[in-house]
Amino acid sequence: MRWEHRLGVEAIRVWVPWRGEARPAGARVTELARAEEAARRMTVVLAVFGFADRTPKTTRAQARFCGYARRVLTAVPDARAVVVWNEANSPTYWSGSPAQYETLLARCYDVLHRHGLTILDSTASAHAPESFLRAVAAAYRTSGRRRPLVDAFGHNPYPADALEPPTAKHKPGFLGEGDYARLVRILARAFGCRPQIWYLEDGFQSSVPRSFRRRYSGRETVPTLTPALQAERLAAAIRLAGCQPDVRAFFNFEFVDETRLAGWQSGLVWRGVRRKPAAAAFAAAARDAGSDCP
C-alpha cells in the first residue's frame, strides 16, 4: 500500500510555477511526468501560477499564460483540476487589479475547460478577500460573459496566527476556516449561485525536536506549535471542513516539512521521511470527516 493511502490522502496539489515561458521545459518536464504517474492512481490538482512580478495583465501575456497552462495539462492528461494562479488577492502573487484577474480566469476557462476537469480560482485568507471577490464578480457582470469563470472556488483558510484554532472567527478583511458562513454568503451574493469551495491550502507549523534538527537549516522566524498540538489543530481543521456543507476538498500544506526553518514545517512527515504525530491525526480525521457533525 502506498504512503498516500496509508495516511488517508486521496488528492495532492502540485505547484507548477510560471516565469513567462511558453511551454514547460527542462526539469519541469520531468516533474510533470511524475505528476501524471501520480494522477493515474489518485486525484492530482495542478496549481499553475507566478509571482507578482509575472502578473499577466495584458491580453498577450494572459494568452501566453493560458497557453502554458494548456501545455501543462497536455503533459498531465489525467489531472482532475487546475488552479488558475495562486492567492490572487495577495500582493506576493498578484500585482494586477481584480478585473484583470477576472479576464485571466475567463480566458483560461475557455482554453482549459473540458469534461471532468475542475477549474478553480484561488484567494488567501488575509488581504481583504471579500472586497477582492466582490470586485471580480462586478467585472464579470460588466463583461456580459455568460460562461462561468470557474467550476469551484479555491480558498486558503489559514489562521491569523500559528496559535489560533481553526474555529476562530475574524473581522471583515480576513476569512479563516471559522468564517465559512461569511465566505459562502459573499460568494453566493457576488456570483449568484451556491458555491462549491475547495480549501486548497491550510497548515499548522510545528517545532522541530532536537533529534531532528540536523536535517533542517537556519532559524525559525514565527511562533510554532508542539508536534502534538499541530496534530490536534490539523485534525480539528479537517473535521470542521467535513461539517461545512459546501466544502468539497481540504489540502494540508504540505506533505514533508521544508528544510529551511524560515519556510514551512507544517508537513505530516519530518525531513528524513519519518512520520510526525500529525500523520496519524490526519489519517483518522480524514477517515471520520463528516461523521460527527452537529
How far is CA 239 from each of CA 39, 112, 221, 234, 235, rounded to the nearest angstrom? 26, 33, 29, 9, 6
Res 126: pLDDT = 98
The 3-state DSSP class for residue 222 equals: coil
Does 287 fall in a domain? no
Is the pTM for the entire model greater than 0.85? yes
Does 243 fall in a domain? yes
Does 214 fall in a domain? no
pLDDT at 1 exceeding the cut of 60: no
Q: Measured on CA atoms in the order 28, 29, 32, 38, is the torsion positive or negative?
A: negative
Dump pLDDT digits (tens) for 61-95.
999 999 999 999 999 999 999 999 999 999 999 99
Question: Residue 46's domain spans which residues?
Answer: 3-204+231-256
**Total domains present in the chain:** 1
Per the DSSP assignment, residues forming a β-bridge with 81 are 45, 118
Per the DSSP assignment, residues forming a β-bridge with 153 are 197
Does 210 fall in a domain? no
Name the helix (H) or strand (E) containing 156. strand 153-156
Dump pLDDT digits (tens) for 119-147.
999 999 999 999 999 999 999 999 999 99
Does 148 fall in a domain? yes
| Domain CATH code at residue 239 | 3.20.20.80
Nearest Cα to 261, choosing from 208, 219, 212, 213?
219
What average pLDDT does range 33-49 have in this prediction? Answer: 96
Residue 261 grid coordinates: 526553518
Using CA atoms, how far apart are residues 184 and 179, in angstroms rounded to an integer? 9
Does 161 fall in a domain? yes
Does 266 fall in a domain? no
Q: What angle do CA 48, 216, 159 make, to 5 degrees?
A: 55
Using CA atoms, how far apart are residues 155 and 122, in angstroms rounded to an integer? 5
Q: Name residue 41's amino acid.
A: R
Does 261 fall in a domain? no
